[in-house]
């Protein structure tokens, strides 16, 4: 299955990396650096999955997730987490209906498998 994925992270190197990993798997990717940009982008284009960093400058990842849930009920959102991310915050994203997490502390192979699993589950739910 080929997906159109929107990658949101404030750090360019991380965005490029995810883009490279996912395109290697055959997916199509677009990138955004902020929450505001993400919401604009979603209005213009249709995406199958959003890969969203919890920590963002401006509107936080959590706010973006809430907005997406309100506007696009069935769009799977996979959160990017890492070492030292606030556990309470992570718990809240679950409450707001994120589809899963991939951690920056995971080995690459695991990132891809985990990502695939989450998207699969999210799509099945729809």
Partner 1 sequence: MLCLDNKENIIFCNKKFKEITGLKDSQIIGKNWLNVLFLNNDNNIQRDLLKAVMDDSMKYSRSKDFEVALLDNNGNEKFILWNLTPIQAENNQTNGNILAGHDITEAKERGSSLKNIDETLKNVFSKIKEYALYLINLDGNITYFGMGSEAMLGWDKQDILFKHVSILHNFKSSDGLHFILENIRNYGKYETELDLVTKNREMIPVILSAHQFLDLNGKLSGYIFIAKDITERRKLEFQVIQGEKLAALGQLSAGIAHEINNPLFVIAAKLELLKTEKLSAKVKNDLELINLQTERIRKLVDRILKFSRKKIPIFEPIQINDAIELVLPLLYYNNLSMVKIEIKKNFDVNMARVNGDLHQLQEVFLNLLINACQSMPNGGVVEITTTNIKNLYAQIQIKDTGSGISPGQLKNIFMPFFSTKSEGTGLGLSICHNIIKNHNGTIELNSEVNHGTVFTIKLPFI
- If binding is defined by CB under 8 A, does position 91 make contact with partner 1? no
Nearer to partner 1, 1 or 91 (CB): 91
Alpha-carbon distances, residue 37 vs 27, 41, 65, 121, 123 (angstroms): 21, 6, 13, 27, 25
- Quick one: which segment of 33-41, 43-51, 60-68, 106-114 binds partner 1 (CB under 8 A)? 106-114
- Give which of 5, 37, 3 is closest to 18, Cα–Cα: 5
Nearer to partner 1, 98 or 102 (CB): 102
| Backbone torsions φ then ψ of 18, nearest 5 degrees | -60, -40
The size of the interface with partner 1 (CB under 8 A), counted in residues, is 16
- Which residue of 20, 23, 25, 45 would you call a contact of partner 1, by CB under 8 A? 20
- Give which of 79, 99, 106 is closest to 90, Cα–Cα: 79
List the interface residues with partner 1, window 25-44 (CB under 8 A): none
* 38's tokens: 């993400």
- Which residue of 1, 84, 91, 124 would you call a contact of partner 1, by CB under 8 A? 84
């Amino acid at each position: 299955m080929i997906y159109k994925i929107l990658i949101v992270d404030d750090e360019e190197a991380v965005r490029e990396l995810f883009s490279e990993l996912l395109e290697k798997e055959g997916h199509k990717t677009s990138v955004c650096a902020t929450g505001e940009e993400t919401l604009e982008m979603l209005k213009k284009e249709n995406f199958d999955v959003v890969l969203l960093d919890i920590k963002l400058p401006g509107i936080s990842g959590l706010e973006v997730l809430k907005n997406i849930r309100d506007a696009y009920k069935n769009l799977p959102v996979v959160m990017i987490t890492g070492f030292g991310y606030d556990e309470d915050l992570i718990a809240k994203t679950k409450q707001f209906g994120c589809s899963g997490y991939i951690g920056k502390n995971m080995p690459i192979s695991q990132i891809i498998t985990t990502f695939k699993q989450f998207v699969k589950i999210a799509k099945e739910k729809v």
